[in-house]
Amino acid sequence: MPKVLEGRTALVTGASSGIGQAVAVALAQAGARVAVNHSSGGESAARAARVAQDIVQAGGQAIALQADVSKEDEVQALFARAEAEHGPLDILVNNAGIEQPSAIEDMTLAQWQRVIDVNLTGQFLCAREAARRFIARGTPPEGVRALGAMIFMSSVHEVIPWAFQANYAASKGGINLLMRSLAQELAPRRIRVNSIAPGAIRTPINREAWDTPQAMNDLLKLIPYGRIGEPDDIGRAAVWLASDDADYVTGTTLFVDGGMTLYPEFRGAG
């Protein structure tokens, strides 16, 4: 991979698995020093440590850092540690996210609140912290066009309603206008803000949608391009959006979904 992010620093939230892991690896392959955030101790700490170790063994630079993105004090400490380790931040990938499906009549306030806290408030807290740090820096590093780049991990469910996942769809719909509002506000400061909206990507969050032949068959009916997405598909999109190749791109949602948002039921002329 060309080193289009050589010398930059990046922070990827929720990078101990799935899409976040692939994005962290792709940014590192493109030359960035990467902070690999994970949510809590135990299993996710061990996984994040492995992600960072694999990057380092492949010749890149990475560290694993714990923080729950829904907690203000932990987010502030996360950014401080990332910058202490790697220097001023250039790229934030706001990736951490969860699902807690439920029929609306059974959805508890706690289920609603936790999904909004992680998926929407967490992205706000990290975006605010990144904006503060980009603005404090004042000028882009030598040879770099933008002062900073933020990428929000949205979903096709920022536009496709999702029965039994009203909390998740509401969080992703919220990301759309959070991202666009920040893009508008921060463009004069040369900070670019965009989203990636993945379709169905093969990760632990949606295992039941792809891990049996029947489930995969049903899933593929929703994907005109005829295959499930892989985490690397999102990694490559994130490298492009973070790089100067996308310097004139801000306030955009890049759908990486194999056509899932193209009303697939109409493929045979409706």
Q: Which stretch binds ligand NAD (CB under 6 A): 56-64, 76-84, 200-208, 214-222?
A: 200-208
Single residue of 60, 97, 174, 235 touching ligand NAD by CB under 6 A: 97
Cβ-contact 264, 256 below 8 angstroms:
no
Binding characters for ligand NAD, 22-51, by CB under 6 A (x = yes): ---------------xxx----x-------
217 by Cβ neighbours in 10 Å (0-12 / 13-18 / 19+) ranks as: exposed
Single residue of 63, 69, 131, 178 touching ligand NAD by CB under 6 A: 69
CA–CA gap between residue 265 and residue 160 (Å, rounded): 13
Cα dihedral 114, 118, 120, 125, rounded to 10, equals 130
Inter-CA distances, 166 with 103, 116, 181, 197, Å? 8, 11, 23, 17
Query: Cβ closer to ligand NAD: 68 or 90?
Result: 68
By CB under 6 A, how many residues form the interface with ligand NAD?
Answer: 29
Rg (CA), the chain: 18
Site for ligand NAD in 210-269 (CB under 6 A): none
CA–CA gap between residue 115 and residue 269 (Å, rounded): 37
Shortest Å, Cβ 99 to ligand NAD? 7
248 is catalytic: no
Contact residues for ligand NAD, defined by CB under 6 A = 13-14, 16-20, 37-39, 44, 68-70, 95-98, 118, 122, 153, 155, 198, 200-201, 203-206
Annotated active-site positions, please?
Answer: 168
